[in-house]
Each structure stands twice: as structure tokens, then as C-alpha cells.
Amino acid sequence: MAVINQDEINNIVWKACDTFRGVVDPSEYKNYILVFLFIKYISDVWKDKHEELKKEFGNDTERIKRRLERERFKLDETCTYDYLFKHRNDNQIGQLINQALEKIEEDNKAKLEGVFRNIDFNSDMQLGETKERNARLKNLIEDFSDPRLDLRPSKVGKSDIIGNVYEYLIARFAAGAGKKGGEFYTPSQVSVLLSKLVEPKEGDRICDPACGSGSLLIKAANEVGSDNYSLYGQESNGSTWALCKMNMFLHSKDNARIEWGDTLNNPKLIEGDTTMKFDVVVANPPFSLDKWGAENATSDRFNRYWRGVPPKNRGDYAFISHMIETAVADGGKVGVVVPHGVLFREGAEGKIRKEFIENDNFLDAVIGLPQNLFYGTGIPAAILVFKKNRKNNDILFIDASREYESGKNQNILRDSDIEKIVQTYKKRETIEKYSYLATLDEIKENEYNLNIPRYVDTFEEEAEIDIQATQKEIENLEKQLADVQSKMKGYLKELGING
């Protein structure tokens, strides 16, 4: 069997985007492409199983039907990619796709209810009037007919090629979506770093309360090294929540529980009369979210803001407080990406920060990242790592802001950069101009200000200047200039020009 090349598959699917480029905004057409990839995937899986059962049971259609109903996804004949391909020239192809999605949801209610509610393949506003829309949808369907894009398990085996292509597309869309890109995707290398820092282990409950399209959750799951874990997430944007649900299925994370709603004002991951508790909580929440719900914080029924209510125009500590409160008391770990203002802003945030450090003793490390890593913002960010029930009370500071690979549009953390950060964190080492293990007394002396330059001195002394050698070089340059000026006067005189 020929090996499917990941780059080749990525390129085929990326080319399908040409149907929409210049006509539909990337932040919108990503949904059409990604939903259609999902249709192609579940269709190919269903077809593969159908062919396998036909070989086993021959023409016993009833037996085949009963077996297919026990598969991951139930799929009616009219919902398959092959059916849509056969009808690609129909005048109502947009409506046919919508009906297929409705039927897929209905037949797989427990898994897919609501996933396609925000997508409309028959929209004049998004896809143009009937003639234009039909042409675009026909092109889209035909783009996915490339024989190399065969997503049947018998062709791709146990490789994660489908999940990889989905992640590839999400990353490409995020890169092209400007500020909106950061709302649904955390750069892969940042997700990997954060996941390695919190070290998920077998049996852990892992949660991302601002999960976007789910890439960070998936990276955290991959760190476990087995399938013995459970995933949870919540996302406020309906379209992004749908992407996350599909992303989980494409990575075979079928049991992940992903909720739709505002984590701060309406947490959905509830157990009894309190929030669920997790062994690992990770997130890249929106930076300094305005109007996050401060007016409701004092009456929060889960008492998540007992340390203090963050400012109404900056929700950073609201997310941190939620994450801390949902981590298990005995050894729960939290890893969160934050803007640097979180480290030193005073007022309500300063008081909450003091509680985390002095009274809770939860803060374990502060890690400064390079600038321009994230979509939609060039500002540098930091990672805070918290651990509950810590035995020590020191805090490790790492300044990793100068070690990265420059990219055309985004900077990139290399594998070696990630490894250095992780090893320094594990060993809790002080390394000149890179890291510093600060005592609680030092933190107190700095009035709980966590600004990294207060602890990690990265100042580079300028090389001493040899005054005599410099003066000699100046004199030599002046002599050369005088010679050039003398020659120029001679040339001008020969030409009869007064210099």
C-alpha cells in the first residue's frame, strides 16, 4: 500500500480554499472547508466499514445495516460525500448539503448535536446568489475528489494524518485571519511547551476552560503517552466550539466533553453543586478581556473570586482564578498564557497576585516568551505555572524571550528552545542571563511584582572602546577624505569647472 504523504494531503486541501479566496473572508470560509473535510472523513470511514462488512456478510443487507449502526458515526446514503459528488450539478446543491448535515446531526445526536447549526451552505450573503453559489460548491466538492485524498482507515492506517491536516488548516486560517486568528488557535509550539510544563499523566482529568479549536487540549493529551485520560473543555464562540468538537473526533478523542458557553459567567463543567475538579488545567485565554462579567463576580455561586474581583476591563485574573479553583487540591497543576501586565499591575490584580504567592503558595514558575509568537498580537507573553500543595515556596523565573527562530510573519519556538525551557523548569536551575530561582523573601522585597527583569539580569555590557585605536582610524579616514577631495578638484579643473 502506498504511503500517504502528509504534505501532499495538506496541499490538496489547502488548494480547495481557492474556491473562496477573494470572495469570502478567511475567518468565515474556514468553516465551510473544515466542515466539508469532516463530511469527507466520516463518509470515507463509513464506506470503508461498509465494504469490509459486505465482504464478510455478502448481500445480507439487514445484518450489514445493524452492524453499521454500532459504528462511531451513523451515516445515511444521502449524507455521504459520494452522494453529494453525484449531485454536484444540482441547482439546489447548497440545500442538499444543509439537509445532509441536519441528518448527520439527527442520527448522531449524542456526539454531534448542534455542531453544524452555525454553518449554512445555502447562504446568499456568505456564498453569493444561486448561480455563483452553485459554481463554488461544485468546485469545493470536486476539490475533495482527488484520489489521493482517500481518508479510509484501510488507507491511512492508525496514523493521525486526518487530525494533522485539520490542525494544519486551522493554523493556516489563524495565520491569515489577523486578530481573529488568536481567538481560535494557539500556535503549536506554544501548546507543546505548555503541555510539557504541566506534565499530564495517566488517569488525569485535563481541562481547557477557553479551549478554542482544541489544539492545546490535544497536545496535552498527547503528553500522557497512553489513552488513559479524560478531556474537558469549554468555548464561548459557537463556530469555534463546533471546530473543536470536530477536531476531537478527527484525532480520535471521541469521549472528550466540550461545552459551549461563557466559562466565567456560565461554567458548564459542573459536578453536583460545584465546578468539576481537574488534575491539569491549561489555557491561552483572551488577553485582558473587557466586560468579562465583573458585575456578577461578587455573587458568583461557585465563589471563584474570593481572593478579589479583577478589574472589569481586564479579565486575566478572572480566568486564572477560575483555573486555580477548578484544579484538584492535592497536586493540581495549572498552566496559563498571560500578557506581561499580569506580572506587575497593581490595585485589585496586585492583591490577588499576593494571595496566590504568599497565602496559597501556588505559583511555581514565571516564563517569559519571545514576542510575535501569537496570531493577532506582536506583544510578548508569559506562562504562569501553578501547583497546589507545593512543598517549596520559591518561584522560578525564566527569560526565554531571546531564543527563537525569526519567521516572516510569526516567530517560532524551536524544539531546542522548548527543551531548554522544560529542562530548566524541571531542574529549577539558576542560569546566568536566562533563569533565576527566587526566594519568597525576594518576592516580598519586590512587593510581589513578578516582572521578569527584576529577577533575571539579561544586561549585556558593551565592549570597551580602544580610544587610541579609534582616534587613529579617524585620522586615517580624514586623510583618505582629503586625498579624494584633492583629486576631485583636479578633475573639475581639467573640465573647466570651478570646484
Question: What sections of 263-386 are H helices per DSSP?
Answer: 294-297, 316-325, 341-344, 348-354
Measured CA to CA, the distance from residue 47 to residue 350 in angstroms comes to: 58
Q: pLDDT-based confidence at 1, cuts 50/70/90?
A: very low
| Residues 179, 377: Cα–Cα separation, whole Å | 7
**pTM surpassing 0.85?**
yes
d(CA 463, CA 348): 44
Instruction: Report yes or no: 187 and 214 within 8 Å, Cβ to Cβ.
Output: no
The residue type of 317 is Y
How many Cα atoms sit within 13 Å of 216 on the Cβ side? 33
CATH architecture of 187-454: 3-Layer(aba) Sandwich (3.40)
Grid cell 519568597 in the structure block, residue: 440
pLDDT at 157 over 80: no
For 6-176, give the CATH class: mainly alpha
Residue found by looking up cell 449524542 in the block = 110
**Residue 153 buriedness (CB in 10 A; 0-12 / 13-18 / 19+):** middle
3-state secondary structure of 358: helix
Average pLDDT over residues 449-465: 81
Closest CA to 119 of 183, 24, 219: 24
- Does residue 236 have a pLDDT over 80? yes
Helix, coil or strand: residue 22: coil
| pLDDT bucket at 68, cuts 50 / 70 / 90 | confident
Looking at residues 65-84, what average pLDDT do you find?
91
Asked if pLDDT for residue 179 goes beyond 60, the answer is no
pLDDT-based confidence at residue 469 (cuts at 50, 70, 90): confident
CATH topology match: 6-176 vs 187-454: no
* pLDDT, average across residues 136-151: 90
Angle at 183 between CA 36 and CA 352, to 5 degrees: 150
pLDDT (tens digit, 9 = 90+) per residue, 184-195? 778 899 999 999
The overall average pLDDT reported for the chain is: 90
Judged by DSSP in three states, 277 sits in coil
CA dihedral 158, 164, 167, 172 (to 10 degrees): -160
pLDDT bracket for residue 351 (50, 70, 90): very high
Residue 234 has pLDDT above 90, yes or no: yes
Q: Tell me the CA distances in angstroms from 222 to 199, 226, 293, one per residue in order.
A: 10, 8, 34
Q: What is the pLDDT of residues 244-297, one digit of tens each?
A: 999 999 898 999 999 999 999 999 999 999 999 999 999 999 999 999 999 999
What integer is the mean pLDDT of 135-154? Answer: 88
**Whether the predicted pLDDT of 497 surpasses 50:** yes
Nine-digit cell at 245? 468538537
* Mean local confidence (pLDDT), 75-104: 96
Distance (Å) of CA 446 to CA 206, 343, 354, 358, 442 = 34, 12, 11, 13, 6
% of the chain with per-residue pLDDT over 90:
64
- Domain ranges for the chain: 6-176, 187-454, 468-499
